Structure 1
Amino acid sequence: MKLSGGCLCGFIRFTAINPSKPHSCSCDICQKHTGCQTAVWIEFDSGDVEWTEGGGTPSMFRSSTASSRAFCDRCGTSLGSIDDTQITALLSGIFDQNERAFFSPSSHSFQDMKPEWWRKIMPDIAV
């Protein structure tokens, strides 16, 4: 499966193949990175992600000892997380084809960090 997407202004674009592990996360780092209570991610081997447009590789912010957060330095769009383990996790909202059933998360990390009001809208799922 080959997927494509990009940032809000179109400066950063990508294609990616062999997606795996669609999942959601409510950790405080994901919340700050996306501005949302829960982020939905699709993982790829970093070698399976190609940055294709004039913007090239996105700007990075080192968010932890094992990972950096990627974003467009023109429009500020949060793009994903690039781990030191050669995993690139891209946010589901930046894909051109994100309405596919494949994008439905199969697991949820850090459910305990969801605010109580968010649990009413998005209940915890069995792990």
Structure 2
Amino acid sequence: MIYRGGCLCGAIRFEATGAAEKPHTCSCKFCQRHTGALTASWVEFSRENVAWTGSGGAPSTYRSSEYSSRAFCPSCGSSLGALDDEPVVALLIGTFDDSTAAELEPQYHSFEDGKPRWWHT
């Protein structure tokens, strides 16, 4: 299976192959600030299975924790995911060309206590 996606302006594009692992949602403050959304939807791929294919090459990064950097497009500012120190690339599901693929359906929610009480999804 090949999953494709990219940023809003199209400069940063990716192709991810192999197993889509740990699809989940998260409401931690890092994810909220990275995406501007109350909940982010993620899926992980082995780093060796992600290729940056757009004219912009690899995304820019910001070191957000001791173990990970957040990835974004330097041209349009779109959040793309997180590049972990482990050989893992976590991509935001909303950046996929087909974000409705069954394999991308979140299986659990991290940091549910970060969701406001009025958030009902």
Q: Which residue does 2:75 correspond to in 1?
A: 74
The match for 1:56 is 57
* 1:82 Cα deviation from its structure 2 partner: 0.5
SS at match of 1:15: strand
Pair 1:12-2:12 in alignment: yes
Residue identity matched to 2:87: Q
CA distance in 2, matches of 1:69, 1:99: 23
| Other-structure match for 1:113 | 114
Tell me the equivalent position of 1:28.
29
Structure 1: unaligned runs, 5 residues or longer: 123-127
Could you tell me the percent identity over the aligned residues? 55
How many residue pairs match? The answer is: 120
Q: What SS class does the counterpart of residue 25 from structure 2 fall into?
A: strand
Moved over 6 A (4+): none
Q: Distance in 1 between matches of 2:17 and 2:103?
A: 13
1:3 equivalent to 2:3? Answer yes
Give the C-alpha shift of residue 100 in structure 1: 1.8
Q: Unmatched 5+ residue regions in structure 2?
A: none
Distance in 1 between residues matched to 2:22 and 2:2, nearest whole Å: 15
Q: Please give the TM-score of this superposition, normalised by the length of structure 2.
A: 0.96
Larger Cα-atom Rg: 1
TM-score by length of 1: 0.92
